[in-house]
Amino acid sequence: MDRVSLIDRVSQGMKNLLVLMLVLLTGCAQQQLRGTGDLGVVIERAAGRIVVVDSSAHATLGTVEGLGDLSHASVVFSRDGRYAYVFGRDGGITKVDLLTQNIARRVVQAGNSIGGAISQDGRLVVAQNYEPGGIKVFDAETLELLADIPSTFGNNGQRSKVVGLADLPGNRFAYALFEAGEIWVADLSDPKHPQLTKYCDIGRQPYDGLVTPDGRYYLAGLFGEDGIALVDLWKPEQGARKILAHYGRGEEKLPVFKMPHLRGWAVAGGRAYLPAVGRHEVLVVDTSTWQEVGRISVKGQPVFVMARPDARQVWVNFAFPDNGWVQVIDTLDNRLIDTLAPGKAVLHLEFTPKGEQVWISARDDNRVMIYDTLTRKPVGELPAQSPSGIFFTSRAGRIGF
């Protein structure tokens, strides 16, 4: 080997080393350590994209594309708060890594889907489907299908749309069947051999459901009649009963331009705050007796009625055409204390983990507004394209989220 080629080889080696160091350095920069407790996602529904946000910094960390039809999207989080499972209208479940803003897994598991839930132990992800009607159970790690439970009812093999899926203690899930008027509880403690408990004739057209924060009561709101179906999951042998059956008796209902959502419950100070269907009212119910104890007149038909985590306030948004408003109820005396106009077409709101701020999506203004919940003044905003749902990782530790 002559001297020149030796120098060449040495300098080539140096170059390789430099390149290697650069790669390592860049890699380190990308993998800076951080937690996920103040992260969340904002759905950009028309674009099929999510924005990963930092609720401490009021900043966008990145966007993730290719999530399909997100026109009715919902999100649950892995119990370590690192992964978001995004359920799309087109039956897609996308597992997104919030730290790298990459798609970790994605499956399309139905033709028309409405949302999902994650089990108490974090090992199972369950999708609720309209078409074909039923729920499907997946391994949260791999998104491998573990069980398929069709919502078949009656005698002719018809399948019902599934609404109101909620996770319960004991790796069980409760949900309601829209056409069938039934509530089913699936015990998935052995996911390949689900055990079903069915509550029939619970009322006409349940449209959504919620479980109380203690995991004890499952409530399904009824669209086809006044009232709410209730199951005491600690006393399942008592069956389902109807509460608030006469809240609208003798009154003409207003047209319902958007179904209320019950998930994201507002159970505060021994009372549940529930949207009245076809009325400009929030119903207040005592959770020990399940009797109505009050009604609060509001700007429009409530869509989301959500308690601040400390339960002192309840925030409400409204269906079209009153969807430019948000109102705030003080739960101490069930009085309206504020009316806000965060922007055009307010679709959703989400509190920071301890509730000092609330993020509100204004779809037609293409922005997310951030309010201080104490002063109820705006403290920030983020641009987003037609934003709908906002979901923070603090949901990971809560039953029913």
Is residue 223 a contact residue for other proteins (CB under 8 A)? Answer: yes
- Decide: helix, strand or coil at residue 25: helix
* DSSP class of 245: T
- Out of 104, 147, 245, 256, name the contact with other proteins by CB under 8 A: 256
Tell me which amino acid residue 279 is: R
CB of 130 to other proteins, least distance (A): 6
Euclidean distance between CA atoms 38 and 353, whole angstroms: 8
Contacting other proteins within 157-176 (CB under 8 A): 161, 163
Note whether 334 and 343 are within 8 A (CB): no
- Out of 49, 72, 172, 348, name the contact with other proteins by CB under 8 A: 72
User: Which residue from 154, 100, 146 is spatially nearest to 119, judged by alpha carbons?
Assistant: 146
User: Which residue from 268, 264, 275 is spatially nearest to 298, judged by alpha carbons?
Assistant: 275
Binding segment (CB under 8 A) for other proteins, from list 56-64, 187-195, 213-221, 250-258: 250-258
- Out of 37, 38, 46, 353, name the contact with other proteins by CB under 8 A: 46
Q: Which is nearer to other proteins, 47 or 61 (CB)?
A: 47
Q: Which is nearer to other proteins, 388 or 394 (CB)?
A: 388
- Residue 321 sits at φ, ψ, to 5 deg, of -95, 15
Euclidean distance between CA atoms 80 and 232, whole angstroms: 30
Euclidean distance between CA atoms 169 and 217, whole angstroms: 11
CB of 82 to other proteins, least distance (A): 29
Is residue 320 a contact residue for other proteins (CB under 8 A)? Answer: yes
Binding segment (CB under 8 A) for other proteins, from list 64-72, 268-276, 335-343, 350-358: 64-72
Residue 338: strand pairing partners: 328
Binding segment (CB under 8 A) for other proteins, from list 66-74, 137-145, 226-234, 266-274: 66-74
Q: Which is nearer to other proteins, 157 or 255 (CB)?
A: 255
Is residue 114 a contact residue for other proteins (CB under 8 A)? Answer: yes
The residues near 68 (Cβ < 8 Å, ≥ 6 apart) are: 48, 88, 89, 90, 92, 94, 108
Q: Which is nearer to other proteins, 185 or 303 (CB)?
A: 303
Is residue 47 a contact residue for other proteins (CB under 8 A)? Answer: no
- Out of 245, 345, 382, 399, name the contact with other proteins by CB under 8 A: 345
Is residue 304 a contact residue for other proteins (CB under 8 A)? Answer: no
Euclidean distance between CA atoms 75 and 73, whole angstroms: 7
Tell me which amino acid residue 352 is: T
Is residue 251 a contact residue for other proteins (CB under 8 A)? Answer: no
Distances (CA, A) of 141 to 24, 82, 144, 360: 28, 12, 8, 31
Residue 359: strand pairing partners: 350, 370
Is residue 69 a contact residue for other proteins (CB under 8 A)? Answer: yes
CB of 321 to other proteins, least distance (A): 7
227 — alpha (psi -120 to 50), left (phi > 0) or beta?
left
Contacting other proteins within 358-397 (CB under 8 A): 363
Residues in the chain: 401
Q: Which is nearer to other proteins, 153 or 392 (CB)?
A: 153
Footprint on this chain of other proteins (rule: CB under 8 A): 45-46, 69, 71-72, 89, 112, 114, 130-131, 161, 163, 178, 205, 207, 223-224, 255-259, 320-321, 345, 363
